[in-house]
Chains A and B, each alone.
Chain A
Amino acid sequence: MSRSQTLTLSFEDRSQRSMPVSDAELAVRCRNGDKDAFEILYGKYSRNLFNYIYRMIGDYDRAEDLYNDAFMRVITARNYQPRAKFSTWVYRIATNLCLNELKKKKCESLDEKLEQGFGIPSPTISPEDYAGNGELTEKIKRAIDGLTDIQRAVFTLRHYHGLSYQEIAGVLRCPVGTVKSRLNSAILALRKTLREELKEVGANEMQSG
């Protein structure tokens, strides 16, 4: 009997006895070729991880690449410390990847601007995108994309992933007070950007109400 089969069997045995298996243990089993462990981890983290990366990067194709890298790192990395929650560690891996990617992207776009000249608008959003609800969603997306990288990370982790301030501080390795002030400044920036939309939504609600 091969090693992976032994691990699978022992994992099944534990599952049948309803013994809790930690995520860290699942990652180790996954590393050793346990398909069940991979499926459990995938089911648990795939959607959240992908959404987080997508909201941070704002580009679906690039988010897919980073998501694959992040997931592989979660499975293959051996530096998980049980002091932090496993999910915090997973978000930290994703955050580091995203921040590195954004830094790289900024350098590239600066190089492009230097070559092409500043002030040239990039036609990434076509007029067809501004239709119905898609228009508002696109504005919100752009407003979130307009936040600084750290503000976006804090806002996304708090608002879309429901992490506590303590957990976000663990992901970003900064004090809780800093997390709170960054969240405040993120909301302030969103208010500035979306003030007009907010008025429109309010007026529509008044009319419909």
Chain B
Amino acid sequence: MRCSLAKRRLTEYVYGDLGERERVGIRSHLASCSSCRETADEIRGILSMASAYVGKSPPAGAYAGLRERVASRPERRRFRLFVLERPIPAYAAATAIAILAVVSGISTRTEMARLERMNSLLSDSLRVLNSQFSGRSFSEPSDSAARDTLQPHTTGSEAPPDSG
């Protein structure tokens, strides 16, 4: 083990916070490294010195003062709505239902708009086919490439381009 690594773990080693494997590693390193051994001793010394700094008791009147403060604490009146008293799962369920409703509403609208578009397209196509079958509003195409072209918006009153 290198000194830099060992020195980083010395505090934990002195506190006894290391696992067995690491503890053995540090101990064998300390056996061979006087510098790290010295640092470990210094840390031990610091910690034992720090333990000499004993704490203080709370002031004598603290207990009575606190007890009085707790006793004289004004009762908090609850001006909450009934809804706010519900537990969190109820809120979660309500939110989920609301989201589902909104999403399904949006998708239904979209679906309806799509159906309307399809419907109008279909009716246009049917009208064109119908007029083609009756042969009233369509002219004979001049060339073979234009033969298959549909002209859905032409009416019966319009004259074909080369009808003569």
Contact = CB atoms under 8 A, between A and B. Distances in A.
B49 A144 contact: no
Interface string B52-84: 110111110011011101110100000000000
Interface stretch (A96-104, A107-115, A118-126, A195-203): A195-203
A54 B49 contact: no
A175 to B, nearest CB: 15
A92 interface: no
Given A38-B67, A158-B15, A183-B11, A144 B57 contact: no
Nearest to B73: A76
A30 interface: yes
B71 to A, nearest CB: 7
Contacts of B56: 50-51, 54, 60
A187 B66 contact: no
A136 B53 CA distance: 9
A105 interface: no
Nearest to B59: A64
B42 to A, nearest CB: 6
A72 B66 CA distance: 8
Contacts, number: 88
A136 B46 contact: no
A42 B59 contact: no
A137 B53 contact: yes
Contact of B50 (A42, A75, A144, A165): A144
B8 A46 contact: no
Nearest to A38: B70
Contacts of B70: 30, 33, 38, 72, 75
Contacts of B105: none
Contacts of B69: 68, 72
A198 B42 contact: yes
Given A64-B58, A201-B49, 5 more contacts: A33-B71, A71-B66, A133-B52, A136-B49, A202-B45
27 contacts: A33-B70, A33-B71, A35-B67, A46-B62, A50-B55, A50-B56, A50-B58, A51-B56, A54-B55, A54-B56, A55-B55, A60-B59, A72-B69, A72-B70, A137-B53, A140-B52, A159-B47, A165-B17, A183-B11, A187-B43, A187-B46, A187-B47, A190-B46, A194-B46, A195-B42, A198-B42, A198-B45
